[in-house]
Amino acid sequence: MSLFDHVEFDQHEHVSYVCDPDSGLRAIIAIHNTQLGPAMGGTRYYPYLNDADALTDVLRLSRGMSYKSALARLPLGGGKSVIIGDPKMQKTPAQMRAFGRFLERLGGLYIAAEDSGTSVADMKIVREVTTHVSGCDDKQTLEGHTKSGDPSPATAYGCFLGIQAAVEYRLKRDDLNGLIVGIQGLGNVGYRLAEMLAEAGAHLIVTDINAEAVHRAERELDAKAVGLDDIYSQPMDIFAPCALGATVNPHTLEQLQASIIAGSANNQLDTAETGRRVHAKGLCYAPDYVINAGGIIDVCYEKQGNYDTDIVNQHIEGIYDTLMALFERSERDNMATSDLADTMARERLQPAPVQPT
C-alpha cells in the first residue's frame, strides 16, 4: 500500500524510514503538522508484529500529538517516532545514538522525548549527538525536591485533574471518595495516577501484564487485581485506560459498566465511530490527547529553557477547564467529545489568513 493511500495518512508533512545496520536500528519518524511550531512527540520502542503495524501506530500517534499541542495551546506541532524491537532485549546505547544522528539530520523539524519503551537515560544518550530532544533535565518540584526529566508525573497529574472534571460534570460530585476506578495499565503514568486516586479516596481495580506492578498496587494501594480481559466488565464508575491504544472498541464497550472513560493511553478509541457509540451510550469520554497533555506541556517548557514548576503546573491545570468546556459543548451540540475535540484542534491548526499587502 502506498503511504498516501494509508487509512491513517492525514496529510502528514514528512515520514522517514530509518535504518542503521551497524546498531540494528529500525525506526519510523512521522511529522504530522508544524503549523504552530516544530513537531514534538515521544519515541516509542515496541515489538511490532510487522512494519505495517508500526507505520499505522506512528501515523495515528503523530496526528494525536498535533491535536494535543493545539488544544493545550503550545507553540508546537505534532510528531512521533517508533523504534521496532523489544526494548528489554534489543535496545542499546548504539541504537539510541544512531537514532539521535537521524534526528540531527532533520534539523529541528522534530524534537523527540521519551515514551513507552524508552527512558530519560535513553534520551540523555540521544542528546550526546543532537540537541533536538527533551525530557532530559532535572527539575525542581513545588516541595523543593529534585525530579528527573521524566514527564510521567506531569501526565499523571493532568489525568487526575481530567478525571476530577469528568466526575464533576457527569456525576455532579466534587470529590472522588468511594468511587471505583478501573485502571488498565500500571506503567510510569498509570501507577502514579493510581497513587493519586487512592489518596483521594477512590477504590481501585487494576490490571497489567506486569505481575509485579499489580502485586505492588495490591500491597500499597489496597487495589483489587483482575485479569487483562476482565477489567472491562467490572462494576466501576470510571474506566481509566493507561496502556496501549484501541482498548475502547465495540467488543469492550458492550461489557463496560463505567459511566466515565478517562485515562492516559494514546489512541484509546479503535475508530472514530466508536467515539460516537460512546456518546450514544451516554458515557462521558475525556479525549485522550486532551487529558494526557501534561507530559508534552512539561517537556515543552523544558525545551524552551524557561521551566518554572508553578507556571508549568498552572498550564497543566488548564486541562480541567478545557475538558469542562468540551463536555458542556458536547451536550449542547449533541456531538461526541472525540469528534468535537478533533474539530477544535483542526480549527487551531488552520494557517493564518494571508493579509492583503
CA 348 to chain centre: 19
Which pLDDT does position 276 carry in this prediction?
Answer: 98
Report the CATH number that the domain containing residue 120 is assigned in CATH.
3.40.50.10860
Report the CATH number that the domain containing residue 190 is assigned in CATH.
3.40.50.720
Rg (CA), the chain: 20
Q: What is the pLDDT of residues 13-29, one digit of tens each?
A: 999 999 999 999 999 99
3-state DSSP call for residue 216? helix
Task: Tell me if 280 is assigned to some domain.
Answer: yes
Q: Which amino acid is at 210?
A: N
Q: What is the pLDDT of residues 189-217, one digit of tens each?
A: 999 999 999 999 999 999 999 999 999 99
Residue 186 and residue 286 share a domain = yes
The confidence band for 107, taking pLDDT boundaries of 50, 70 and 90, is very high
Of 112, 3, 109, nearest in space to 55 by CA: 3
Residue 105 and residue 15 share a domain = yes
Q: What mean pLDDT, rounded, does the chain reach?
A: 94
- The DSSP annotation for 282-320 comes to T-EE--HHHHTTHHHHHHHHHHHT---HHHHHHHHHHHH
Residue 163 and residue 132 share a domain = no
Domain end marker among 103, 136, 169: 136
> Do 90 and 46 contact (CB within 8 A), yes or no?
no
Task: Tell me if 141 is assigned to some domain.
Answer: no
Task: Tell me if 351 is assigned to some domain.
Answer: no
Give the pairing type, strands 146-147 and 139-140: antiparallel
Cα–Cα distance for residue pair 324/329, rounded to 1 Å: 9
Domain end marker among 108, 136, 164: 136
Active site residues: 80
Beta-strand (E) ranges in 103-196? 110-114, 139-140, 146-147, 180-184
The mean pLDDT of 229-243, rounded to a whole number, is 97
The whole-model pTM stands at 0.93
> Do 340 and 326 contact (CB within 8 A), yes or no?
yes
Q: What is the pLDDT of residues 42-97, one digit of tens each?
A: 999 999 999 999 999 999 999 999 999 999 999 999 999 999 999 999 999 999 99
Residue 260 and residue 116 share a domain = no
CA distances for 140 relative to 112, 134, 147, angstroms: 22, 16, 6
Residue 77 and residue 41 share a domain = yes
> Do 240 and 193 contact (CB within 8 A), yes or no?
yes
Residue 328 and residue 275 share a domain = yes
Residue 105 and residue 217 share a domain = no
Residue 156 and residue 101 share a domain = no
Residue 101 and residue 207 share a domain = no
Task: Tell me if 207 is assigned to some domain.
Answer: yes
Q: What is the pLDDT of residues 257-275, one digit of tens each?
A: 999 999 999 999 999 999 9
Residue 329 and residue 181 share a domain = yes
Q: What is the pLDDT of residues 123-171, one digit of tens each?
A: 999 999 999 999 998 776 655 666 677 899 999 999 999 999 999 999 9
